[in-house]
Amino acid sequence: MSSSRACAECNKTSFSRDDITGQLACSTCGAIQPFDQFDAQIGGITGIQGTFIRLGTTGSGSVYTYKERKHFAANSLIDELTSRLGLGSKSNEIRSMISDITEGEFGQGNWFSVLIGSCAYVVMRKDDRPLPMAEVASAVGCDVYELGRMILRVVDFLDLRSDFPEFDIVHSLERTLKNSHCFEDVDGSKLDTMKKQGVFLIQCAVKWFLSTGRRPLPLVVAVLVFVAELNQVEVRIEELAMEVHAAVSTCRARYKELLETLVKAAQVLPWGKDVTTKNIVKNAPFLIQYMEKKSMARPGEKRKSLDELGLNMEDVIKECLRQNNAYTESRTGGTSSQNDSQYFSTQSDVERPGIEDVDRMEISPECLSMMYREFLNENPSAYNSRSGENAHKRSTFKFDIRDCWEWWEGKSELSKKLLLKQLLEKDVGVDTMPPSFVAGQVKCRMRRERINAAKLRIEKIMHPLDANGTVNCMVDPEKKSKKRRGMVVDDVDWEDLIIETLIIHGVKEEEIEKGHYNTLLDLHVFNSGTV
């Protein structure tokens, strides 16, 4: 049979129909002709339907509209993301919130994934169990700032600003300690003790304003690393920061600030002037016990001395110093116990009655056995009773008082979650200013000195005969800066030149002190019509 259409392969017009399949094939080359049985829609909705193509069908006997397919894909995506965040029990509440926001239309695309993450964050925040925003952004696959903007839109749309709770940093610490792989091998009892110690220190850090104006997760990482080191658990700050999606550099900065603040608090100890950031871990048991007792004291009550804390520290340290062997700490950067002997009386062994009584030391036989085995392992020559050539050598014995002293009590209210008002009323022995505020004040004072120096230089140039003052430059004249590209020699750098330019253009000194140079240059220099 012939047709008006040509073969798709050989362009011939001779075709034959197969008796079995009914398909049309070319008589010359045998190619099957496509779209042979297609029938166009004729006559509107009630017209004849095509054989192979029908709009809105997904299979035999099923018909879904566009809205139904969109809702199915949206619900599948909600279940996937909530499962990824571990919020399977909250999926219905999150779905209901999304339905209220979109008026039951839901959606599809990248923006809808961001909306799901935002609603998940808001739901958990309302339940006082907030999720880290970085973790939600990582699960959704978007930027933290994009997620933050969507969260603000959700909060404003649902009118939740008035009763939206603050971020619970204590819950974040407990959640990180529970879910982190760094602590999965730690014993359950020790993990519970670490949690209480972490809650105590994190609330002290909040009282010391270490979390003011900062992201909470780096401080959580810093506290957990310190508590792990205090309990002799090896945790790397890089691994823990990666798990909570926090910047390693920021975590290190928070850890440094925590150590420095603890050193300030440790000045109340008798050997406080010897405490540094390198040996604060060794002194932390004494410091934390002091802060515990201090926080439990009533307002106006006289501060108890360290002798009343339940540990006879004088006898313990004298017993360590009595030996002829040198007792050294196993940690790097530690100081010897002999450095602290200046704070205790140096009586002889005969003048110290009762020091030989082991029961007074409250050291268990198991602990003594462990210390003895450790001593023999590290000093093989101790098996030999001869007093030969090794008799004059000083042996090294690693002693850690934390192994023989249960210093943690956990009786303070700071070991439990407190409201911010209750937390600020507690006294832990030291009060500090927010580090960001202190740093800002220091920078403002430095800019003030630069402004005064710039005014003197301008005055000297404009009135050379009347200017008799000397330039009070911040940089030490003896430390001349090297010539570098983009820098000005003679103790004047780019910041001084910018300040001079702003002063010449009449910018107020109070605005210059804030340090927003780019904004001030755009407003007063480049848009002023004069250069």
pLDDT tens digits for range 455-502: 999 988 888 775 455 444 444 444 444 444 444 445 788 888 999 999
Task: Give me the pLDDT at residue 10, please.
Answer: 83
**What is the average per-residue pLDDT within 297-325?**
53
Task: Give me the pLDDT at residue 336, please.
Answer: 38
pLDDT averaged over the chain? 76
**Tens of pLDDT along 412-450?**
778 788 877 777 888 887 888 888 888 888 999 999 999
Is pLDDT above 60 for 2? yes
Task: Give me the pLDDT at residue 489, please.
Answer: 45
**Which residue, 131, 133, 125, 136, is CA-closest to 164?**
125
Task: Give me the pLDDT at residue 228, please.
Answer: 93
Q: Which sign does the torsion angle of CA 171, 173, 174, 179 carry?
A: positive
- The segment with the largest mean pLDDT, out of 78-87, 329-338, 482-491, is 78-87
All structural domains of the chain with their residue ranges:
1-35, 69-156, 168-294, 433-461+492-530
What is the band of 157 on the pLDDT scale with cuts at 50, 70, 90?
Answer: very high
- The segment with the largest mean pLDDT, out of 112-121, 154-163, 302-311, is 112-121
The topology under which CATH files domain 1-35 is N-terminal domain of TfIIb (2.20.25)
**DSSP annotation string for 270-338:** TTGGG--TTTHHHHHHHHHHHHHHHHHSPTTPPPPPGGGSS--HHHHHHHHHHSSSEEE-SSTT---GG
pTM for this model (two decimals): 0.61
- Distance from C-alpha of 131 to C-alpha of 123, rounded to nearest angstrom: 10
- Distance from C-alpha of 21 to C-alpha of 508, rounded to nearest angstrom: 90
**Tens of pLDDT along 195-218?**
999 999 999 999 888 888 888 999
Task: Give me the pLDDT at residue 467, please.
Answer: 47
Which of the four CATH numbers 1.20.1250.20, 3.20.20.80, 1.10.472.10, 1.10.1490.10 does domain 168-294 have? Answer: 1.10.472.10
Task: Give me the pLDDT at residue 326, please.
Answer: 41
Residue holding tokens 């220091």?
A: 442
How many Cα atoms sit within 13 Å of 345 on the Cβ side?
A: 6
Task: Give me the pLDDT at residue 322, please.
Answer: 55
**Tens of pLDDT along 491-512?**
788 888 999 999 998 889 889 9
Domain 1-35 identical in fold to domain 69-156: no
What is the band of 355 on the pLDDT scale with cuts at 50, 70, 90?
Answer: very low
And the tokens for 1? 């049979």
Is pLDDT above 50 for 289? yes
Q: Which CATH number does 69-156 carry? A: 1.10.472.10
Is pLDDT above 60 for 191? yes
Pairing mode of beta strands 62-63, 326-328: unpaired
Task: Give me the pLDDT at residue 299, please.
Answer: 61
For residue 265, what are the CA distances in angstroms to 204, 261, 284, 402? 11, 6, 10, 20
**Tens of pLDDT along 23-58?**
778 888 877 777 665 555 555 555 555 554 445 455
**Do 435 and 257 touch, CB atoms closer than 8 A?**
yes
**Tens of pLDDT along 362-378?**
566 666 667 766 766 66
Residues 111, 117, 119: CA angle, nearest 5 degrees: 100
